[in-house]
Structure 1
């Protein structure tokens, strides 16, 4: 299903979790890299006004639905998509990496968060081989010199799956850039996924997530940052809903 219009339009091209893991398994088995993005409403507010972000999104190999509104819109269009938040993909993708003996890298967030996430993942998943952790410096340019240096570190480390926790649009921009510099690495943009694992951020309780109220939890945790963001998200819903109806 497509979201948006013109050059900023994005297609969610992997509808189910089963399809995603089949595709990722195939890429890892063949030694081929990939870039995975998880589309949400915040991204859809940014894409029309950020051409570099839109270009980076179009360079992603796999795009899945992250966020209940995206799933609801797909149902409205009668092209249903399965909910796959980036944070929920870290553990199962890591389990797949351990099963296939694929080395893993963690990039983004902070040194403390990466240390905690590494410990949490290795405690939970026997045999998981995390060969690199790197927290970019403040003001990191996802297509600059440090980005190229990270790609070199990835190539040297032997990592074949890299979780990127930089937030949008930096993580998608870096993934698109790194696909060319580290072509055998699979990049998964997972937002705050590593911070949740390390305990540096607290995720909404399961009940709130089940009731599609995670947005409210995040707004209450950080109102100055999140309330304006969600206001922009709600503002674009009518047009997205109309476009969804047109795609039936």
Structure 2
């Protein structure tokens, strides 16, 4: 599905995990991101030159998943198929289990020392065999400096991370992956926002009722009104109207499943 110039790949979590296993075993590196109204606000229909992205096409490919409930609802309307809502927070535990099984190393970019301390305890408890090669806590100066941002990517490469979980928030995490993902040498790059915070227990996820009814945004707004009011109250409605122009396209890659047939 194309939404304001952004391709959204309609699939289920089994298909995502199959792709994760395939890319960890070889082939082109894969970057996975989530599309919601905030993503449309930042990236929908914006030319690559305006995002200050590299002229040379990166070697990694993107898999952009339907995260926000409005995205899923629009996909359901267009295809007549009930698609699942795929969030980084829901996928991360399963991907880490795949990493543990395959012996793949993991690094975390973004977050605070406290989050990393709590996350480390959670990983040692629930994923005792996982190989965590590093945690990076870049400040705004680092991620906004091309030189410092590249240096951090080179540190990730030196550490030997096969999977990099990038929690820098939109649009910073996607831009960092697009510009420096190849530099990291990682097989899998995950633009998963607050997923690591949720896993660490530093941030509470919305109760099931809110998530089930597409109201997770309302819960988060109530928890962090000062930080999120502009996103949900000002930017969200405009992005929602752009979503109405979404349309379907046939999958041009024969190696992937046909979209809009079966929600695997």
Distance 1:142 1:160, change over 3 A: farther
| Bigger Cα displacement from structure 2, 128-137 vs 47-56 | 47-56
Give the aligned partner of residue 2 of structure 2: 2
Give the aligned partner of residue 22 of structure 1: 18
* TM-score under structure 1 length normalisation: 0.87
Local SS of the residue matching 1:202: coil
Give the aligned partner of residue 72 of structure 1: 73
RMSD: 2.6
Distance 1:183 1:219, change over 3 A: same
TM superposition shift of 1:2: 0.7
Matches of 1:162 and 1:239, distance apart in 2: 31
Matches of 1:234 and 1:246, distance apart in 2: 25
Give aligned pairs, total: 243
TM superposition shift of 1:45: 1.2
Identify the match of residue 39 of structure 1 among 29, 35, 42.
Answer: 35
Local SS of the residue matching 2:165: strand
CA contact (8 A) 1:103 1:160 kept: yes
> Which residues of structure 1 form unaligned runs of 5+?
none
> Which residues of structure 2 form unaligned runs of 5+?
251-259
Structure-to-structure mapping, 1:78-93, within 5 angstroms: 78=79, 80=81, 81-93=83-95
Give the aligned partner of residue 240 of structure 1: 243
The structure where helix makes up a greater share of residues is 1
Matches of 1:31 and 1:133, distance apart in 2: 26
Local SS of the residue matching 1:131: strand
Matches of 1:54 and 1:79, distance apart in 2: 37
Structure ranking higher on relative contact order (CA contacts 8 Å, 6+ apart):
2
Give the aligned partner of residue 173 of structure 1: 175
